[in-house]
Chain A
Amino acid sequence: MAYHPLDEDAPKIMCREVAEWASVYLDQHMHDAEQIRIALHLAACAGCHAYLNQIDSVRQALKALPSGARKFEQQKRLQQAFAARRQSR
C-alpha cells in the first residue's frame, strides 16, 4: 500500500534505514515521497542529522583529497611520447 509521506498512518522510518539511504538522499537522487519522509525524520532526529552531516563532510573532503601522487619516474617518458606524437603528424 502506498502512503503519502505526511499521512499519519505511514510506517515510521527507522534511523538504520535513514543511515543506509544517506548517500542517495544527499545526492538528491531519490523519489520525492522518500525524500520527504527522510527530511521529516531528519527534522526530529539529532542522531540522523549528525550522521548525514558527517557523510556530507566526508564527501566534501574526498572531493579535495590530495592523492599523494608525486612526479612519477616515467612522467618524462610520457611527455616525450606526447611531443613525438605532434612531430609525427
Chain B
Amino acid sequence: MNIVSTSCMVSAGKGRATATTLVIGSEKREEALLSRLRMGDEGAFDELVNKHHGSLVRMAMGYVDDREVAEEVVQDTWMAVIESLDRFEQRSSLRTWIFGILIHKAKDRGVREKRHTNFSAFESGEEDNEDSVEPSRFHQTGDLAGHWAFPPQPWDDQTPEKLLASQQAVNAMNSAIEALPRTIKEVLILRDIEGVDVKEVCATLNITETNLYVRLHRARERVRQVVEAYLEGTLQAV
C-alpha cells in the first residue's frame, strides 16, 4: 500500500506559507554564501567546511573501510569543490552538489578497494520486506494481534535537549549512525542531520519517495532503540 504523497502535504494554509518562507530564506542564504565563496571569502569557505565535513565523513564511511580513507575521500571532495566552484550551475543546492561529488568519489574509491561486492549485499538486504520495529513488541495472535504487547514508555518533552547535553547519549547516537547499513545511513544523514528537502534527497540518491521513507524510518528506529536503551539505563558501554 502506497501511503506516501508525492508532493509535500503541509496542507494548512499557514503551514504552507511557513514552509515557503523557510525555502525562500534558505535559498537567499545559499545565494549569499555562494557569492562570498566565488569572491574568495575564506571565512565563507571555513563556514562551509565546518558545517558539512562531519556528515561527509560519516557518509564516506559507508563506502570505504576505514576512517582515514574516508577523510581522504572528503579531502578530495573539497578540492573538487574548490576547483569547480565557478562551474557550479546551481541546478541543485550547493549542499546537494557537494554531497553528489562525495558519493561519486567515495563509490569510486570503494570500488578500487573492492568494496563493490559489499555494496550490493547492503543494497539488497535492507529493503522493503523487513519491519522497522522489533516484531516481538507486538501481539502476534488473538484479537490484539498487531497491537502493542510492550508499548514504548513516554519520554518527556525535554528529551532532545537532555540527550544533546549528555556526552554518553551523543556518543551512543553517533555510534548507532555509524553502524547503520550504507543505504539507510545516507538517507538519515541527508534528511535528518543535513536537513535536505525530500525531493533533493531522492534526486541525489536516485530513489523514490516511498523508498526514502522506508529507509529513513528504519534508520530513525535504530537510533530510537539506542536512545531508549540509554534512557532505560540498559545501554551497553560505547
Contact = CB atoms under 8 A, between A and B. Distances in A.
B42 A61 contact: no
Given A16-B133, A55-B221, A63-B193, A29 B152 contact: no
A63 B163 CA distance: 12
Contacts of B195: 63
Contacts, number: 170
B139 to A, nearest CB: 9
Contacts of B131: 16, 20
Given A23-B217, A47-B152, A30 B46 contact: no
A31 B161 CA distance: 32
A60 B53 CA distance: 20
Contacts of B42: 79, 82-83
Interface string B1-35: 00111001111000100000000000000000000
B147 interface: yes
A28 to B, nearest CB: 5
Interface residues of B, number: 63
Given A47-B152, A62-B173, A62-B192, A55 B9 contact: no
Give the interface SS of chain B, mostly helix, strand, loop or mixed: helix
Interface in B147-199: 147-148, 151-155, 159-160, 163-164, 170, 173-174, 188, 192-193, 195, 198
12 contacts: A15-B146, A15-B148, A19-B132, A23-B220, A29-B9, A50-B153, A54-B224, A59-B220, A61-B164, A62-B223, A67-B54, A74-B75
Instruction: Rank and list the top 7 A-B pairs by shortest CB-CB distance, nearest first.
Output: A67-B54, A47-B151, A86-B40, A14-B146, A69-B54, A47-B148, A23-B217
